[in-house]
Amino acid sequence: METSSKKDLAVSFLKDLGKMEPERLRMIISKQVGEELAAVMFNYARQVIEASPDKAIENASSLLILGYLLKVHEDGAIPPENPPV
């Protein structure tokens, strides 16, 4: 089995996403993210972008990284700040 780097996986997914039919994307978002979490993310993105509209690229990058960190957190892969002794 060949393993890919996180960068390779991300680039491949983003390419696939760009070619994806809108209905399939909506179905994936609905099933994997859910309407409530999607709304939270949408509202947060709006707040971030409205706070600094002149920093669109930085905001978009930060939001993508934040989304990834949310998934990592869901998976329990972020260790506690002060691990038990």
Print pLDDT tens along the chain (85 aa). 456 898 999 999 999 999 999 999 999 999 999 999 999 999 999 999 999 999 999 999 999 999 999 999 999 998 888 766 7
CA dihedral 69, 74, 75, 77 (to 10 degrees): 50
What pLDDT does residue 3 have? Answer: 67
Residues belonging to the chain = 85
* Burial class for 49, CB neighbours closer than 10 Å (0-12, 13-18, 19+): middle
Within 8 A by CB and 6+ apart from 48, the residues are 59, 62, 63
pLDDT computed for residue 1 by the predictor: 44
> For residues 78 and 72, is the Cβ–Cβ distance under 8 A?
yes
What residue has token string 């909506």? Answer: 26
Instruction: Say what the pLDDT of residue 79 is.
Output: 85
SS3 34: coil
